[in-house]
Amino acid sequence: MKPIASNRSKKDQLVNRARMLISCPDRPGIVAAVSQFLSEHGANIVQSDQYTMDPEGGMFFIRIEFDLDQLTARLPQLENDFAPVAERFSMNWSISPASKKKRLAILVSKEDHCLLELLWQWQAGDLYADIALVISNHPDMRELVESFGIPYYHIPVTPETKAEAEAKQIELIRGQADVIILARYMQIISPEFLKHYPNQLINIHHSFLPAFVGGKPYAQAYDRGVKLIGATAHYVTEELDGGPIIEQDVQRVSHRDNVDDLKRIGRHIERIVLARAVSWHVEDRILVYQNRTVVFV
C-alpha cells in the first residue's frame, strides 16, 4: 500500500502559525503580560485556551496559537525576548511552530489495529506528524509498514535480552523521534528508558482505567460482568497503568459478548482513543501537571 498522498492537511499552509504553552502559579496579570508581549512583537492571537486550577493559589495553564510574519526567522529572537516575562511569572513554557511536524517512533507487538489506524490517519493527513520508524518485538508487520515507506526494525525481547533490546531501541530512536507511541506494545518499559522521554511516551491500555490494571483486562471485564468496556490513552510513568490519562472512551456490551467479542469491540475503541491522544499531543494540546492532564481541544 503506497502512500498516495500523505499529510495533505490544511496545516501545511500555516507556515507562520506558532503554538505557545505555558503553565505557572496563578497570579494577576499573566494574560495581560503575555498578550501585550505578543502584540508588541506583531503577533496576532488566533486562538487561546486557559484554565486555572482551583482553589486559589492554584496553577494557571494557557495555550495560545498566534500568527507572526516570518515566524521561522524571528522565533529565536521572540523566545529570547520572552524569557524575562517567563521568569517574572515562574513559567514553564514553550513555543512551537505549527508547521514543524513532531517525529514519532511507534512500538508494536502482534496486534496491528492501533498501528494501522495511525498509519491510515497519517496517510489521510489527519495525523500531522512524521512517522520516523516502527519497532516491534515480532517480525510480522514488516511488509505492511515498509509498504508505507517507513523503516521497520525487528528487535526480539526475552527476559534475558530485555536490557540489551531497550538499548538498541533507544539507539534507533535517538535523534530520529521525539515522541514514542506504544501501539499495543506488550512489554514493560524500564524506568531508564522512561527518563529519556518524560511525558513523551504514550500508551494505549485496553480497559477503562483505573479498572482492570495489568494483563488480560478483557478477561477481567468479562468476569466482572461490566456493561461498558473502554480504553485509555495515557502517558507512561513508572507506575504500571498509572500515568496521566489523556483520553478515554467506552462502548456498550452485553451478556451476549464473550471475551473474544470484548476484544473485537475493544479494538475499535483502542485505535480511536490512541489516535485522538496522539493527535492532541502532536498539536501541542496537552499540558501535564502532577498526575493529571489539561487537554485543550
What is the edge-to-edge ordering of all strands in the sheet holding 152-154? Answer: 152-154, 129-136, 102-108, 179-182, 201-205, 228-235, 245-252
Task: Quote the least distance from Cβ 154 to a copy of itself, whole Å.
Answer: 15
Complex with a copy of itself: residue 64 or 107, whichever CB lies closer: 64
Residue 49 is a catalytic residue: no
239 lies in the binding site for a copy of itself (CB under 8 A): no
- Per-residue contact string for residues 199-238; x = within reach of a copy of itself by CB under 8 A: ---------xxxxx----------xxxxxx-x--------
Complex with a copy of itself: residue 165 or 211, whichever CB lies closer: 211
Span of 33-41, 77-85, 86-94, 153-161 interacting with a copy of itself by CB under 8 A? 33-41
Q: Which of residues 60-99 bind a copy of itself (CB under 8 A)?
A: none
Q: Which of residues 167-186 bind a copy of itself (CB under 8 A)?
A: none
Task: Quote the least distance from Cβ 228 to a copy of itself, whole Å.
Answer: 5
Size of the site for a copy of itself (CB under 8 A): 70
Binding test (CB under 8 A) with a copy of itself, winner from 75, 86, 116, 167: 116
Q: Which of residues 40-59 bind a copy of itself (CB under 8 A)?
A: 40, 42, 44-52, 54
What distance in Å separates the CA atoms of residue 273 and residue 123, rounded to the nearest whole number?
Answer: 18
Span of 173-181, 182-190, 196-204, 252-260 interacting with a copy of itself by CB under 8 A? 252-260
DSSP-assigned letters across all residues of the chain: ---SS----GGGG-TTEEEEEEEEE--TTHHHHHHHHHHHTT-EEEEEEEEE-SSTT-EEEEEEEEE-TTHHHHHHHHHHHHHHHHHHTT-EEEEEETTS-EEEEEEE-S--HHHHHHHHHHHTT-S-EEEEEEEESSSTTHHHHHHTT--EEE----TTTHHHHHHHHHHHHTTT-SEEEESS--SPPPHHHHHHSTT-EEEEESSSTTTT-SS-HHHHHHHHT-SEEEEEEEE--SSTT-SPEEEEEEEE--TT--HHHHHHHHHHHHHHHHHHHHHHHHTT-EEEETTEEEE--
Question: Among the options 112, 130, 241, 284, which is catalytic?
Answer: 241
294 lies in the binding site for a copy of itself (CB under 8 A): yes
**In the structure grid, which three cell numbers stand for residue 43, read together?**
503577533
Binding test (CB under 8 A) with a copy of itself, winner from 101, 182, 244, 284: 244
Binding test (CB under 8 A) with a copy of itself, winner from 90, 147, 161, 190: 147
DSSP bridge pairs for 99: none
Report, as residue numbers or ranges, the catalytic residues.
241
Interacting residues toward a copy of itself by CB under 8 A: 1-2, 4, 10, 27-33, 35-36, 38-40, 42, 44-52, 54, 112-113, 116, 120, 124, 126, 140, 143-144, 147, 208-212, 223-228, 230, 244-250, 254-256, 258, 260, 264, 267-268, 272, 291-295
